[in-house]
């Protein structure tokens, strides 16, 4: 219960800055989230002429008071979805967001199952060679000569 409350409080604390960023984006923030259509690198790392024009256009849109979502929609309308650094969370692109987590879950489950099977399989194994066998009435599977010498050595220490 305390963990759920802590997670909820943490989510609320992070929601306020995210909302503020949506309403009043900065050029530096959008430069990392938008890619240059010619060189396929973030705008903040591109010196291509189109990237320079995109930066100026984004600055103008910010000055007009547009939100981050509106600016991104405008850029997608002009250049297509390849201008976004992260694919949108809808349609086929949703796989890019879901598959890594699904892979972690499946991989973690497989490792956990394999560890469980390995630990359970150890109990079912036959005793190692030379170990006492209940069918031998406490006697070992050792060579009779070696067994005799072992009994003599143990008898010396019993006294």
Q: Is residue 67 part of a domain?
A: yes
| Per-residue pLDDT at 104 | 95
| Per-residue pLDDT at 37 | 87
What is the average pLDDT score of the chain?
A: 80
| Per-residue pLDDT at 135 | 56
Per the structure, the complete domain to which residue 61 belongs is given by 20-90
Q: Is residue 55 part of a domain?
A: yes
Tell me the average pLDDT across 102-125. 85
| pTM for this model (two decimals) | 0.48
Confidence of residue 13 (pLDDT cuts 50, 70, 90): low
The total number of structural domains that make up the chain: 1
Tell me the average pLDDT across 61-68. 92
Tell me the average pLDDT across 64-86. 89
Confidence of residue 2 (pLDDT cuts 50, 70, 90): confident
Confidence of residue 18 (pLDDT cuts 50, 70, 90): very low
| Per-residue pLDDT at 20 | 47
> Worst-scoring range by mean pLDDT, 24-38, 69-83, 126-140, 145-159?
126-140
Q: What CATH number corresponds to the domain at position 29?
A: 1.10.8.640
Confidence of residue 40 (pLDDT cuts 50, 70, 90): confident
Q: Which long-range contacts (CB under 8 A, 24 or more apart) does 33-37 make?
A: 33/68, 33/72, 33/84, 33/85, 33/86, 34/58, 34/72, 34/75, 34/83, 34/84, 34/85, 35/82, 35/83, 35/84, 35/85, 37/79, 37/80, 37/82, 37/83
Contact 26, 69 (CB under 8 A): no
Q: Is residue 61 part of a domain?
A: yes
């Amino acid at each position: 219960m305390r963990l759920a409350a802590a997670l909820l409080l943490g989510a609320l604390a992070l929601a306020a800055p995210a909302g503020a960023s949506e309403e009043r984006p900065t050029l530096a923030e959008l430069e990392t989230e938008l890619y240059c259509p010619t060189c396929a690198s973030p705008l903040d790392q591109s010196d291509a002429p189109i990237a320079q024009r995109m930066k100026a256009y984004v600055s103008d849109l910010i000055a007009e008071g547009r939100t981050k979502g509106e600016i991104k929609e405008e850029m997608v309308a002009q250049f297509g979805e390849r201008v976004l650094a992260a694919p949108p969370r809808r349609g086929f692109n949703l796989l890019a967001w879901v598959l890594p987590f699904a892979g972690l879950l499946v991989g973690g489950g497989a490792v956990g199952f394999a560890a469980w099977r390995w630990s359970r399989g150890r109990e079912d194994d036959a005793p190692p060679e030379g170990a006492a066998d209940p069918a031998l009435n406490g006697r070992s599977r050792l060579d009779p000569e070696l067994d005799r010498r072992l009994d003599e050595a143990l008898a010396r220490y019993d006294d």
